[in-house]
Amino acid sequence: AQTVTQSQPEMSVQEAETVTLSCTYDTSESDYYLFWYKQPPSRQMILVIRQEAYKQQNATENRFSVNFQKAAKSFSLKISDSQLGDAAMYFCAYRSVPGTYKYIFGTGTRLKVLA
Amino acid sequence: EAGVTQFPSHSVIEKGQTVTLRCDPISGHDNLYWYRRVMGKEIKFLLHFVKESKQDESGMPNNRFLAERTGGTYSTLKVQPAELEDSGVYFCASSQWDRGETQYFGPGTRLLVL
If DSSP codes are grouped into helix, strand and coil, which group holds residue A86? helix
The residue type at A32: Y
- Name which of B70, B66, B79, B72 is nearest B29 in CA terms: B72
- Contact of A106 with chain B, judged by CB distance below 8 Å, is answered with yes
What's the gap in Å between the CA of A3 and the closest CA on chain B?
10
Looking at the predicted structure, is the pLDDT value of residue B99 above 60? no
- The predicted-structure confidence for A52-97, as pLDDT tens digits, reads as follows 998 889 999 999 999 999 999 999 999 999 999 999 999 999 998 8
How many CA atoms does the CB half-sphere of A101 hold within 13 Å?
A: 22
Residues making up chain B, counted from first to last: 114
- Name which of B80, B74, B88, B75 is nearest B36 in CA terms: B88
Alpha-carbon gap, residue B62 to B85, rounded angstroms: 12
- Name which of A109, A106, A76 is nearest A94 in CA terms: A106
Longest dimension (CA), chain B: 42
- Contact of A98 with chain B, judged by CB distance below 8 Å, is answered with no
**Is-contact B100 A52, C-beta < 8 A?**
yes
If DSSP codes are grouped into helix, strand and coil, which group holds residue B20? strand
Give the model's confidence band at A41: pLDDT under 50 very low, under 70 low, under 90 confident, else very high: confident
- The predicted-structure confidence for B40-91, as pLDDT tens digits, reads as follows 789 999 999 999 999 999 999 999 999 999 888 999 999 999 999 999 999 9
Give the CA distances from residue B41 to residues A6, A46, A75, B114, in Å, rounded to whole numbers and listed in that order: 11, 19, 20, 20
Torsion on CA atoms A11, A75, B26, B17, rounded to nearest 10: -60
Nearest chain A Cα to B34, which residue?
A: A102
Tell me which chain B residues have a C-beta less than 8 angstroms from the C-beta of A33: 100
Mean pLDDT of B19-34: 94
Going by their DSSP bridges, the two strands B43-50 and B31-37 should be labelled as: antiparallel
